[in-house]
Amino acid sequence: MQLGRSDTDLLAILSSEIAKAGATRIGVAVSGGGDSMALLHLATALGERFRIEAITVDHGLREGSTAEAEFVQKVCSTLNVPHATARWTGWKGEGNLQKRAREARYSLISEWAKRRKLHVVLIGHTQDDVAETFLIRLAREAGVDGLAEMDARFERHGVTFLRPMLSASREDLRQFLKRHRRDWREDPSNENEMFERVRIRRAIETFEGLGISTESLARVSQNMRDAREVLEADARCLGKALVTQVQGDLLIEREGFLFAAKELRRRLLVKALRWVSNADYAPRRAPVEELDHAIQEGRNFSLAGCMITVTKTRIRIAREYNAVRDIVEHSPSWDRWIVDGPWEMGMQVRPLGEPALAGLENWRESELPRKSLMSSPSVWKKDVLIAAPLAEPSSSWEAGLKSPDFLASL
């Protein structure tokens, strides 16, 4: 492939992002569309020092998806790029289809990347996607985080994903394909105005007459990203000043919390809730604001699988018993804990609960209150309590958190 100047620019962008990640074994998520096909060809032009593999996820939701996966397979064969097709069969007609499909896509790609021992997986999002996402979130009254440019690098299911083409336009990539007579397959749903993103795309074409272009929207999104980074830094400082960790609970000094700016309070609460609940996603803004009001008024609250207890001097965020009461594991890994001890066949880990807690003589000597201990891990063999490491410490059994300490996680 002979490279012109604009091709060299695109390759420089790609090489820079891959170099930052220190990757040599590279996966490419390829749907068959123009963006991902251009990314595939650019990746193969990087040179022999990189190992390139590709995957196509066939959601099976429309006619022609299988043919598109076969098209990608044939192109990869001509490029000597190993290719896999992952098929999703999990749609039962319930819930948000696009959300479920997106979650399944990342899950399937991650499983493949781990099997193939890949360092990163490339995704073909462009500057146009940045602009469209900005407007979609603007319509939903998103805050700074929602309006900020999507991350060029992120983790999902233990796999690193890169979006190296966020500074390139969709047209840049299609022109690249045209110059080198490379084919692609347009997804017919990209013309279906039933989909919000397609309607937004049409709106941007109208906005251009007002001087609002894809490039300008993307720059505003970048500005929001810069603002987010400053807010995140301030929230980390606030957390380090006010938060104390006790086992799996977090204690926040209430006076300092109430003195902080509202947005910093919100960010600290979100970080604390996600850490205690081990959740992948943050709770929505409205219920977090309700929690903030409750803290100001001195009221207890429940949110995101957490129990928030408020006193005059502090806020305690702990795991809520109702969120874990039905979790039973036949292994030492339970909720956000790892239980270590003389494990035997037939043992299981489940929440301690109140009846079992009441039967322990020395639980009041624990550094945790009753409600926190109820949701702590305990080891059982049939109906016999073997150990409750947090409520009644012993030399034989311990419970440790899977995640880093809260302050380290900041």
The predicted pLDDT at position 1 comes to: 46
Q: What amino acid is encoded at 333 in this protein?
A: S
Task: Mark 310-341 as b/e (b = at least 16 C-beta within 10 Å).
Answer: beeebbbbbbbbebbeeeeeeebebbbbebeb
What contacts 160, CB < 8 A, 6 or more positions away? 21, 23, 119, 120, 121, 153, 154
Query: 275 with 250: CB under 8 angstroms?
Result: yes
> Which one-letter DSSP state was computed for residue 83?
E
What contacts 337, CB < 8 A, 6 or more positions away? 248, 349, 376, 377, 399, 400, 401, 402
What is the C-alpha separation between 30 and 56, in angstroms, rounded? Answer: 5
Q: Count other Cβ atoms within 10 Å, centred on residue 347.
A: 20
Among positive and negative, which fits the CA dihedral 358, 364, 370, 372?
A: negative
Of 335, 333, 355, 356, which Cα lies nearest the Cα of 343?
333
Task: Mark 163-177 as b/e (b = at least 16 C-beta within 10 Å).
Answer: bbbbbbbbebbbbbb
The predicted pLDDT at position 91 comes to: 64
Q: Count other Cβ atoms within 10 Å, centred on residue 12.
A: 10
Helices marked H in 65-195: 65-78, 97-115, 127-139, 144-147, 170-179
The predicted pLDDT at position 206 comes to: 84
Q: Which residues of the chain have pLDDT under 50?
A: 1-5
- Which residues make up each annotated binding site? 31-36
Per-residue CA distances from 182 to 2, 47, 266 (Å): 13, 19, 48
> Which one-letter DSSP state was computed for residue 382?
T
Angle, in degrees to the nearest 10, between helices 170-179 and 127-139: 150
pLDDT tens column, 265-284:
999 999 999 999 988 788 99
Reading the block at residue 61, the tokens are: 């939701």
Strands 51-58 and 83-87: parallel
Query: 153 with 22: CB under 8 angstroms?
Result: no
What contacts 117, CB < 8 A, 6 or more positions away? 25
User: All domains of the chain, ordered by start, with CATH?
Assistant: 5-217 (3.40.50.620), 247-319 (3.30.465), 324-405 (no CATH)
Helices marked H in 148-299: 170-179, 196-207, 214-242, 254-259, 262-277, 285-297
The predicted pLDDT at position 4 comes to: 44
> Which one-letter DSSP state was computed for residue 405?
P
What is the C-alpha separation between 353 and 406, in angstroms, rounded? Answer: 25
Can you say how many angstroms the Cα of residue 171 is from the centroid of all Cα atoms in its chain?
A: 28
The predicted pLDDT at position 65 comes to: 79
What contacts 121, CB < 8 A, 6 or more positions away? 26, 27, 28, 29, 55, 109, 110, 113, 159, 160, 161, 162
What is the C-alpha separation between 68 and 73, in angstroms, rounded? Answer: 9
- Which residues make up each annotated binding site for ATP? 31-36
